[in-house]
Chain A
Amino acid sequence: MRTASLWLLALTLLAPAARAQDDAKDKKPDMGKQEFQALQKEFQTTQQSFFKKDPKTDEERLKLLQEYKKALDPFAAKFAALAQKYAKDPVAFDAWGQVLQNWQFSPEADKAVEAILKDHSASDKLQELLPRLTGMPTPAVEKLVRGLADKAKEGDARGLAVFELAQFLNSKVETAQTLKGIDEEMLKQIELMYGPNAIKWMSATDILKTQEEAEKLYDQVVTKYANVKPKNGGALGEQAKATLFELRNLGIGKKAPEIEGEDVDGKKFKLSDYRGKVVVLDFWGNW
């Protein structure tokens, strides 16, 4: 059992881009799409060259991250330029999506949010992009999900927007909690990858307040939008209920549910047997 290293975390966060959708009806050469695909290919090839490397020590990891950023950061401006060139075209959304997924704390990310709210707030591609973003809470993404929730018209679209905002806030809480326990090396790597403001911002989360807001929104989803079905995944009601359970019963400040079971010798015992003691519960495995 190993906790994922930040390197692995960074890799999983850098998911391959949504491909520009094929428009079979359009017989004219789609310049924007071609340009995007070319840029995308260049970007991915550069990325791949780093994924092959296998850093063994913390120093090596840090060095590799530095090189990685140096090689890939220039692409942020390139994707942004492409998006600005093809502003209202769907390919602009794809380019902004790349910016938001890869350069979360950059000025380009802020531009991406502005542009999406202005020109692409009704894009059905948002359903694919948002789940990729909400797992890594950043100020830009917060602005995006709040903006979308504000703009959304009543009905399914609103249900989806409210749900995504709830998911984002839940992520924010989990990240803030995880950061509390992170060790120095990981902290260095995060700072290197995302910049010095990242940790500050993520740690500044008011956990209780954010949990409360998330709960209210999940509640809304359960009562008003339970049957809304996103492109991928089950109906919103089911998803919201599961997370609500966790927030309500396993959130900071909640009374822990009882645990009853047998120890390795077959003896029965309960969590409440330890009332009056400070308890650390460790879900573990020797694998």
Chain B
Amino acid sequence: MYPHERSLVKRLEGKPFALLGINSDHDKEQLKEAMKKENITWRSWWDGGSTEGPIAKSWNVHGWPTIYVLDADGVIRFKQLREKSLDKAVDSLLEEAAKNKK
């Protein structure tokens, strides 16, 4: 599971990028095991053990998974992208951030 997430994180190592999860699993200990087993290296907030946790609620999340892509200024730029489209979007935002720095 999660091969695309893993490859995204690996590919962008060293770049100003972060994949952050908001996890809804019921059991935190079981989740930690699963993360080790699946080599899930990115950080997640544990949202209290359900899909109705405080973070999911404040973001009005009803469908799982839900993806948001934020630029370097914390602005929401894309939603619900997966696979290649997600790669494209992230790469374009990294380019944008690099240009803005100059």
Contact = CB atoms under 8 A, between A and B. Distances in A.
B57 to A, nearest CB: 11
B59 A257 contact: yes
A252 interface: yes
B32 A272 contact: no
Contacts of B76: 250-256
Q: Is the interface of B mostly helix, strand, loop or mixed?
A: mixed
Contacts of B51: 285
Chain A interface category by residue count:
35 or more
Given A180-B80, A256-B74, A261-B46, A281 B25 contact: no
B91 to A, nearest CB: 9
Contacts of A264: 23, 28, 31-32, 35, 44, 46
Contact of A279 (B20, B56, B66, B80): B20
22 contacts: A180-B78, A181-B82, A181-B83, A181-B86, A251-B76, A253-B76, A255-B74, A261-B47, A261-B54, A263-B43, A263-B45, A275-B72, A276-B16, A277-B17, A281-B20, A281-B22, A282-B21, A282-B66, A283-B22, A283-B59, A283-B61, A285-B25
Interface of A: 1, 3, 174, 177-178, 180-183, 242, 245-246, 250-257, 259, 261-265, 269, 271-272, 274-287
Interface of B: 1, 5, 8, 16-26, 28, 31-32, 34-35, 43-47, 51, 54-56, 58-61, 64-83, 85-86, 90, 93-94, 97
